[in-house]
Amino acid sequence: FVRPGMDPAIEPMEAQSVPDIPVGRAWQYEPKWDGFRGLAHRDGDSVDLRSKSGQPLARYFPDLVAALLGVAAQRFVVDGEIVVPMKDGTLSFEELQMRLHPAESRVRKLAAAHPARFMLFDLLIDPGGEALDGLPLAERRAALEQAMPKLRSPAIALSPVSRDIGEAQNWLHALGTGRDGVVAKRLDMPYRAGKRDGMVKIKLAHRRLRGRRVPIPGEVTRGRFAPARPLQRAGPARSRRLHEHDPARGTRGADAAAGGDDRAAGPHGKGAGRTEPVEHGEERGLAAALRPELVVEVRFDHVSSGRFRHGTTLIRFRPDKAPRQCLISQMYQA
């Protein structure tokens, strides 16, 4: 039922960061969930769940696969956000990250303790096999609500939408809920796979991590990709303390990505992750010196000439994203 160009690895529609919520009848507002973006393809008894970077996620979320198989519609492709709700109604990004574990037994234990939820906000192929990506968002949302009128499982839910700017402002400023801001989408736009026009995101500047302490390295060397060019150094990002390595959370890999393994004495140590030091302003050598394996989220103030010029802070790891998705152009859109 998947038409050419609508394969399981389709790129999700992207959003451009803007400082303020756009106003007008052309916009639809949605909460920005603090989770993993996911595309789900169902064809009969088969479900393919992919991350934003195109990586398979089904083995890490067997509870969502079961829920998607429980939907009455036998065929569809939906776009949404994977989150992990806690008992107090908030969302835990840390519990979500822990699902990406290599042991199936561990994944099933985590799924039983903290079931995931798939917040649906777009329909790309309807139950009849018709591709909807060329239709405007207003029609796609109506089709989504018709295809998923009564969802049996709490593991799948329709993400709320509104055309009221006041409600969007409430979503933006309601802290402690697991919402990460607001997304505004053009009602008249088709689904723009891999593009950033027609959808914007607005996030509060003040962020904090909830739940248990997340181990992160003391300093990470950051890089960005540019078209037809190797990885470009964008400067260091520091955190307050260096915690012990935790393979389940990926910090051992982060240490290698920062310039060495656990034998390295600093950013220019002789660990397996480096072959030569990389100085500020040096554009050659970074691709050879580092293996871009992990993606992290950082907070920054100013960008100039493709580099972060002021101090930056490492917020968290983003295992749902691929290094090749980290583009220099995004530095000017944040």
Active site residues: 32
Give me 149's structure tokens: 């009128």
Closest residue by Cα to residue 178 from 100, 109, 87: 87
Give me 68's structure tokens: 């998607």
Q: How many CB atoms lie within 10 A of CB 252?
A: 17
Closest residue by Cα to residue 273 from 260, 288, 254: 260
Helix, strand, or coil (residue 88): coil
Closest residue by Cα to residue 298 from 227, 242, 235, 212: 235
Helix axes 104-113, 62-69, angle to 10 degrees: 70
Phi, psi dihedrals of residue 234, rounded to the nearest 5° = -120, 10
Closest residue by Cα to residue 81 from 122, 29, 128: 122
The Cα 97–Cα 102 span in angstroms is 12
Residue 64 near residue 83, CB atoms below 8 Å: no
Residue 1 near residue 43, CB atoms below 8 Å: yes
The Cα 44–Cα 11 span in angstroms is 23
The Cα 107–Cα 101 span in angstroms is 6
